[in-house]
Structure 1
């Protein structure tokens, strides 16, 4: 039997769930209520005073971690190559942005940092300097024991030059502080009707074909499993019968288990934004995923 998954939630799941952005404590409360033990955040969006939060906010952060018994999992960050419109970032500037977020992630207790690099194409090929940014920060990441992990996100499939480039970097450097994050939206195999608060029309489908699902075969996860350090459990709609309308969780869970993955599954809800809906949807997902894991472990996985 493989190890058990660890369950967490991204606070991004709850954006606008009350009709306005809920407070940090609201998010902690709803995450803990699912039985999850991990919390994932968006650094720029949810750290007051980013990138230098004040003492009052830091005190609140650690008090909430203690009160709700949650573990900081992953902090999402950005390396914005076009922060100035007349030129791209230099290597030194990009590396400094990444170092800034490593420092903050360490202060807040996170062990994973998702840097999102600027991209050059619709299939999310990252800018050429990403390797230099990361390599200049490997020693700092090792000092803080943080793993930097860019995400494999639709419309990028597993069998793609983006993934190959990240794996080549890991092999070349031998680092233990850079890995892959898989966003389960790559396994979506049915078209969405809503993307967040947006109802999807035919024009959107034509220009953003990934909204129909890129349907990566979950078996392909086994080919990259040894490089995967974190999973964002993306989903959009789970009905009252605990059937996900877009993500085929049974083959996904089977592949993760057979690959020996025992890390975080961090819920990331990106479905229809309506009051209270995300709270209910995240609860449904946690019931569904735990049910499937239990059935797999008990040998009743049909």
Structure 2
């Protein structure tokens, strides 16, 4: 039985090919559409020259809409990057933060998206202050729940409380599936081995992660094993990642409107070895989620020292996995457009 959950792609997945000039915006949209992943999430800085410092040229916006229509795609989300503590050597005052968010709301409206993604570091008061403006523009602001944070983290609870107190429907959440990292990703381990981590230490860190050993103990043990530099860095990854429970999304489902389908690698059997997508999709179905799961490939940075990333193939494999989990009857493949 087919699900009401829809498939999409964050164009961030194609960052290597985009930055190297191997894929144009049209290539990205055509490829996604051929895979039946018609929902498109975009990062302004990656796709639109001059954004946000100089704004985006109208001809680029017009071209975006032309290509969206040509490939029967749906603009889903614009990921904005307000980092108020690193703004021109000073912390951005509250009023400027709100104005900056409103600028991204305007940009999202120009792109025709329904959602804009806020970095998890943004103070909830800033988003609450911009909520009415977002409502007027027909846009929801979604705070990204990203590892090492999770739905029981005090900072996320603070956002949830502020959103509920505001009474605004324009505020919500965008969970990143990287917070459900149940196993240490093989591509991470392989990278650390290449840069000099002894195999015995790499094996220990991998097993310690699977056994849910406290990160501070792992770091100490690695140092006592003689690990330095890269070995300690490998152990440090345990501080920033964890295997939180997908079922915790259920309590927040009314405010969850988009999903980052984070993945680090898809094997030839269409399995992400470190993130339990079967459990994740089951929870989303249980919660009645009807939005998009947008592929977000981030394994490229872990392999590009050893091989050329093939982001398109990786996205294809994840889309096949998602289609199977969602009960779709047609398996995604390139050069075969699936109806939206």
Q: TM-score, normalised by structure 1?
A: 0.87
Higher relative contact order at CA 8 Å, sep ≥6: structure 1 or structure 2?
2
Match of 2:280 in 1: 252
Q: CA deviation at 1:18?
A: 7.2
For 2:174, which of 181, 193, 200 is the aligned residue? 181
**Cα-Cα RMSD:** 2.2
For 2:134, which of 122, 126, 141 is the aligned residue? 141
Whole-angstrom distance in 1 between the partners of 2:186 and 2:88: 34
Match of 1:299 in 2: none
Q: CA deviation at 1:148?
A: 0.2
Q: Does residue 105 of the first structure (1) align with residue 97 of the second (2)? A: no
Q: Is the 8 A contact 1:3 1:260 kept in 2?
A: no
1:27-64 per-residue CA deviation (whole Å, 9 max, x = no partner) reads: 11211121111111111222123232223212211110
Q: Does residue 28 of the first structure (1) align with residue 1 of the second (2)? A: no
Q: CA deviation at 1:256?
A: 0.8
Match of 1:79 in 2: 82
Match of 2:223 in 1: none
5 Å-filtered alignment, 1:1-302, equals 4-17=4-17, 20-21=20-21, 22-51=23-52, 52-84=55-87, 86-116=89-119, 119=121, 126=122, 130-194=123-187, 199-200=191-192, 201-209=230-238, 213-272=241-300, 273=304, 274-275=307-308, 277-294=310-327
DSSP 3-state at the match of 1:244: coil
Match of 1:122 in 2: none
Q: Is the 8 A contact 1:167 1:227 kept in 2?
A: no
Structure 1 regions of 5+ residues with no counterpart? 120-125, 296-302
What is the aligned residue count?
Answer: 282
Whole-angstrom distance in 2 between the partners of 1:181 and 1:143: 21
**Structure that is richer in helix per residue:** 2
CA 1:275–1:23 in 2, change beyond 3 Å: closer, same or farther? farther
Structure 2 regions of 5+ residues with no counterpart? 193-229, 329-340
Q: Is the 8 A contact 2:10 2:42 kept in 1?
A: yes
Q: CA deviation at 1:208?
A: 2.7
Whole-angstrom distance in 1 between the partners of 2:84 and 2:287: 35
Whole-angstrom distance in 2 between the partners of 1:247 and 1:169: 30
User: Which stretch shifts more, 61-70 or 19-28?
Assistant: 19-28
Q: Is the 8 A contact 2:125 2:162 kept in 1?
A: no
1:203-257 per-residue CA deviation (whole Å, 9 max, x = no partner) reads: 322233256x411122222222222111111111111111211111111111111
Whole-angstrom distance in 1 between the partners of 2:234 and 2:287: 33
CA 1:2–1:151 in 2, change beyond 3 Å: closer, same or farther? farther
**Structure that is richer in strand per residue:** 1
1:99-145 per-residue CA deviation (whole Å, 9 max, x = no partner) reads: 1111111011011001215x4xxxxxx5xxx2332122112101111
Whole-angstrom distance in 2 between the partners of 1:131 and 1:276: 37
Q: TM-score, normalised by structure 2?
A: 0.77
Q: CA deviation at 1:3?
A: 5.4
DSSP 3-state at the match of 1:245: coil
| Structure label with greater radius of gyration | 2
Q: CA deviation at 1:276?
A: 5.7
